[in-house]
Amino acid sequence: MKTSKKRLTQKGLLVGCCLALNLLPISPAIAQDALWRSYYTSAQKAYQQGNFGEAEDLLLTALNAATKTDESLSTYYYLAQVCVRRQHFADADRNFKIVLDGLGTKTWAVLRPPDGTPDWEQSPNNIRQTEDSTAFHSVLKRKPPQLLTIKLAKPITIVDVLADFGTLLQLSKRYPEAENAYRQALVLSDCRPDQATNYEVRLLQKLSVLYQLEGRTAEGEAVNQQLALARNESVPDFDQLVSDTIKSLDRFGGNRHSQAVRLNNLALFCATHGDYGKAQSLFNRAVSCLNEQPGKHGKDRALILNNYSDLLLAMGRVSEAANVNREALSAGYLPDEQASEILQKSPSY
């Protein structure tokens, strides 16, 4: 009799649990959102590895799973970036225009991907926004050094979209339209004084490259003078800071991997402050350091090459960017644990 009561009690608990589950169904919206995030995250990983074909396929699938406006526009934005990398300029043009139309005609529009959405790249903001040499050197002295990569903006502002759209137009040799996009971005950036300086150096460098491509020497020189003033306002004594840092990095000559990581980070610092010439030289040195150890550090070599490819693309050197990207794909990857172990052995200042 006691056993019977026990079974009845267990059966009642089981029925109660089933009823509770029926009262708490999984929301289709939640499931759909999780599906979008899954494809979006997988596309991010493919992009970071330089596998842009796979990234594009995954983003297209993510687009079909998106249910919110920000999800769709974020996906279109990164899809446009991937299309530029694949030199599918017509598709990139269409995707950028969808994002611009979606952001509307607001003076300052910001596209905020949903909370929890992964950044597409490691953030170099701790190096990008450093304004004094002491703080800057503290970033480079970290042990082990973190290999930074170029970050696609998050949240995405309309200035970011216009700047990237201008780069696409420049690559397509639609120079008047590119200039118009850059100048629109400059005007809008002035509406946010807290961010204006960071945007200004990027946009002035883009205009400088554009004028160089068009052979507009006088206008290019005027923009370069303005760029130098803006850069020194953002980072006082920029040229001296970079020069001193290069001398410090030369102390890592015995550890070529550690030197390459720091040269890459310094190259990104220069690129994000509008000095493409210094950035290119530093990327070349970083790659040369790792080329001296063939078969080693494949993952880091690939990441540095991807950064370099992004820089060449921004400079309008499409074929060179494509060649560097192919080299990155063939570089290979080391397990994260092995790369971390190598970095731990790097000497400190």
Kindly report, residue by residue over 190-219, the tens digit of the pLDDT.
887 776 777 888 899 899 989 998 999 999
Model confidence at 236: pLDDT above 50: yes
- Domain of residue 63 covers 28-106
Please count the other Cβ atoms lying within 10 Å of the Cβ belonging to residue 230.
21
- Tell me if 85 is assigned to some domain: yes
Dist. CA 222–CA 232, nearest whole Å: 16
Q: Taking residues 307-333, what's their average pLDDT?
A: 79
Please count the other Cβ atoms lying within 10 Å of the Cβ belonging to residue 320.
15
- Tell me if 2 is assigned to some domain: no
The total of structural domains in the chain comes to 2
Q: What is the pLDDT of residue 29?
A: 63
pLDDT higher at 87 or 295 = 87
CATH number of the domain to which 52 belongs = 1.25.40.10
Q: What is the pLDDT of residue 230?
A: 84
Q: What is the pLDDT of residue 33?
A: 76
Q: Are 77 and 215 members of one domain?
A: no
Model confidence at 14: pLDDT above 50: no
- Tell me if 115 is assigned to some domain: no
Model confidence at 320: pLDDT above 80: yes
Q: Are 148 and 70 members of one domain?
A: no
pLDDT higher at 20 or 318 = 318
Closest to 206 measured CA to CA, from 248, 175, 241: 175
Q: Are 182 and 317 members of one domain?
A: yes
Q: Which of 106, 141, 158 is the last residue of a domain?
A: 106
- Tell me if 312 is assigned to some domain: yes
Q: Are 244 and 324 members of one domain?
A: yes
- Tell me if 230 is assigned to some domain: yes
Query: Exposed (0-12), middle (13-18) or buried (19+): which is 64, by Cβ within 10 Å?
Result: exposed
pLDDT, the chain, mean: 76
Q: Are 52 and 141 members of one domain?
A: no
- Tell me if 172 is assigned to some domain: yes
Kindly report, residue by residue over 151-190, the tens digit of the pLDDT.
544 567 888 899 999 999 998 999 999 999 999 999 888 8
Query: Exposed (0-12), middle (13-18) or buried (19+): which is 319, by Cβ within 10 Å?
Result: exposed
- Tell me if 3 is assigned to some domain: no
Q: Are 102 and 146 members of one domain?
A: no
Model confidence at 266: pLDDT above 50: yes
Phi and psi at residue 156, to the nearest 5°: -95, 120
Contacts of 320 (CB under 8 A, 6+ apart): 312
Q: Which of 44, 73, 106 is the last residue of a domain?
A: 106
Contact 56, 79 (CB under 8 A): yes
Dist. CA 10–CA 169, nearest whole Å: 69
Locate 59 and state its tokens: 């983003």
Q: Are 335 and 247 members of one domain?
A: yes
Q: Taking residues 223-228, what's their average pLDDT?
A: 90
Q: Are 215 and 265 members of one domain?
A: yes
Q: What is the pLDDT of residue 165?
A: 94
Q: What is the pLDDT of residue 137?
A: 60
Kindly report, residue by residue over 41-62, the tens digit of the pLDDT.
888 878 766 788 898 999 999 9
Q: Are 84 and 158 members of one domain?
A: no
Q: Are 195 and 307 members of one domain?
A: yes
Q: Taking residues 84-107, what's their average pLDDT?
A: 89
- Tell me if 201 is assigned to some domain: yes
Q: Are 137 and 253 members of one domain?
A: yes
Q: How confident is the model at residue 23 (pLDDT cuts 50, 70, 90)?
A: very low
Contacts of 217 (CB under 8 A, 6+ apart): 211
Q: Are 167 and 278 members of one domain?
A: yes
- Global model pTM greater than 0.85: no
Contact 273, 153 (CB under 8 A): no
